[in-house]
Structure 1
Amino acid sequence: MEGVTLILALAVLILMSVVMTAAWAYGLKARNGGWTDVFWTFGSGGALAGAALWPLSAGGPEARQWLVAAMVALWALRLGSHLAPRVAHGPEDPRYARFRETWGRGYPWKMLGVALPQAPASALLALSVVAAAHRPGPLDLRDAAAVLVFAAALAGEALADGQMRRFRADRRNKGQVMDRGLWAWSRHPNYVFEWLAWWAYPVMAFDAARPVSWLTLVAPAVMYLLLTRVSGVPPLEEAMLRSRGEAYRAYQARVPAFLPNPFKRFR
């Protein structure tokens, strides 16, 4: 099983390298780096769902393979349907706008260096997805618990995104910092719930006695690093400090960047 998992992760790496090269080219043509996120989301969703369903048994994919594939597809559809309209009809994401401004003539090739490393990230996520999809045995309470974690994560992320969308749509809030609802507990609640969604796979399949199941922990670890150290919080915080200044610094002082701190909140 370990060999099959690694082969499928390699296949995802190759496929996503093609997808992210296309994302880079399309983003240059559209003059909007935000398409990188859209291509990665839908591309990863398709690649990971396919990896979950392969290899086919004599009677077709097992029930758990279908369940994992459906979860990955729902994740991609929800996130992609949120991102695509924003990218297509709104201004360029401030992170990519900053890259364009800072890099100048070097932007096209440096942007390729932003897009392509996202393919290995998808391959690492595939390790967790495939390991969970191939846990032996019929569906059980662990699968139900994983679905509950996954559903709560998607609902929470949709709620956070909806709160931010309504805040931005109100002209009275122009230039202000969103610090209401879930955003009063975390500066990036949408990222917190995005990370939580990937814990569904360890909940479903982790077993310390089964070595391949340790791979299910890769996805939440990778997503935590990406969201908090690489492409999520750091560039977005930098952009918010430039646009909101002292108001955002005050927000940083009272609200945690990622995981909520109830004790600080109530105190």
Structure 2
Amino acid sequence: MIEALVLPVTISIIACCLIMAAVWFWAYKIKNGGVVDIFWSLNFPVIVLIILFTSEGWRERTWVICAMVVVWGVRLGVHLGKRVIGHIDEEEGRYAQLREDWAPNANRNLFWFFQAQGFSNVLLSLPFFIISANENKGFSAFEYTGFVLWLIALSCEALADNQLNRFKMDPSNEGKVCNVGLWKHSRHPNYFFEWLIWMSFAIFALGSPYGYLAIISPAIILDLLLNVTGIPTTEKQAVRSKGELYKEYQRTTSAFIPWFKKK
């Protein structure tokens, strides 16, 4: 199995690093590091296309997981693209803060940050590599379960993003905190359902040899969302921009899991 993964993994690393180098150059020219989020999402469809042409597993299974990743990755990339490009001349608060923290070597550090994002794309793609190497014919219960969970999580993530977009587009909501729809039950429903999508990939991989290793991906995503670049940085920026309004929102809602209310 390891031998079967050498080629797709190697090509994926090279492709993602080259893409992120080009994205860094673009970010350098426009002084907006937020564009990395768009291509972090779009790198996953690139990886599964590489897998599609280099994998040795059962083709039907490979086509299914590749289609799942392309649909999810392109939707997320387009969504983030609209958000970032909509204010391309104004760098998102998280990256503006990084630029300030890393001064006077911000551009150099951002380059390596972008490269780290490219490597993370390949590491997190472990479920896709495992699934595509499975030569057994036929779909297992794990694969059916993973697909159903993926469909539910993707639909809910898209719903949360749409609800937030509609809230922001209403001029009367300027300066307010979005607390409608799924956002009434969680401060970050988009993050929660994004994590569920990664769980669906891991469950799908359980139908393949060594599939238990795929749990590494949702575990990393969960740690990033809860402790690193997800909720902590997003909430710090929200408090800076919304002040007491957001602090009140924090006191009355769950940070992550919808409907898991604070007492």
If the length of structure 1 is used for normalisation, what is the TM-score? 0.88
User: SS of the counterpart of 2:11?
Assistant: helix
Structure 2 unmatched ranges of 5 or more: none
Does structure 1 residue 87 correspond to structure 2 residue 84? yes
- 1:124 positional shift: 1.4
- 1:6 positional shift: 5.4
Structure 1: how far apart are the matches of 2:240 and 2:29?
27
Structure 2: how far apart are the matches of 1:62 and 1:211?
16
Match of 2:121 in 1: 122
Structure 2: how far apart are the matches of 1:72 and 1:49?
10
Contact 2:188 2:231 in 1 (8 A): yes
Match of 1:228 in 2: 226
- 1:64 positional shift: 0.2
Q: Describe the superposition over 1:13-34 as per-residue Cα deviations: whole angstroms up to 9, x where unpaired.
A: 2321221111111111122211
User: SS of the counterpart of 1:258?
Assistant: coil
Contact 1:24 1:112 in 2 (8 A): yes
Structure 1: how far apart are the matches of 2:101 and 2:184?
32
What is the aligned counterpart of 2:240 among 242, 245, 253? 242
Q: Describe the superposition over 1:52-110 as per-residue Cα deviations: whole angstroms up to 9, x where unpaired.
A: 552246xxx61000111111111111001111122222243221122234444432112
- 1:138 positional shift: 1.0
What is the aligned counterpart of 2:217 among 211, 216, 219? 219
Does structure 1 residue 2 correspond to structure 2 residue 7? no
Matches within 5 A, 1:205-216: 205-206=205-206, 212-216=210-214
Structure 1 unmatched ranges of 5 or more: none
Match of 1:251 in 2: 249
Structure 2: how far apart are the matches of 1:72 and 1:17?
19
Contact 2:186 2:255 in 1 (8 A): yes
Structure 1: how far apart are the matches of 2:6 and 2:190?
30
Q: Describe the superposition over 1:199-239 as per-residue Cα deviations: whole angstroms up to 9, x where unpaired.
A: 122322316xx762122212211211222222221211111
Structure 2: how far apart are the matches of 1:196 and 1:53?
27
Contact 1:52 1:130 in 2 (8 A): no
Does structure 1 residue 132 correspond to structure 2 residue 131? yes
CA change 1:51–1:116 in 2 (3 A) is same
Q: Describe the superposition over 1:144-186 as per-residue Cα deviations: whole angstroms up to 9, x where unpaired.
A: 3222111111111110011110111111111111112111221
Task: Output the aligned Cα RMSD.
Answer: 2.1
Match of 2:197 in 1: 197
- 1:126 positional shift: 2.0
Letter in 2 for 1:247: L
Letter in 2 for 1:226: L
- 1:139 positional shift: 2.3
Structure 2: how far apart are the matches of 1:102 and 1:201?
35
CA change 1:235–1:83 in 2 (3 A) is same
Identity across the alignment (%): 33
Match of 1:176 in 2: 176
Match of 2:63 in 1: 66
Letter in 1 for 2:33: G
CA change 1:10–1:261 in 2 (3 A) is farther
Structure 2: how far apart are the matches of 1:192 and 1:5?
30
Which sits farther off after the overlay, 140-149 or 159-168? 140-149
* Residue-pair matches, total: 260
Which sits farther off after the overlay, 73-82 or 105-114? 105-114
Structure 2: how far apart are the matches of 1:73 and 1:27?
24
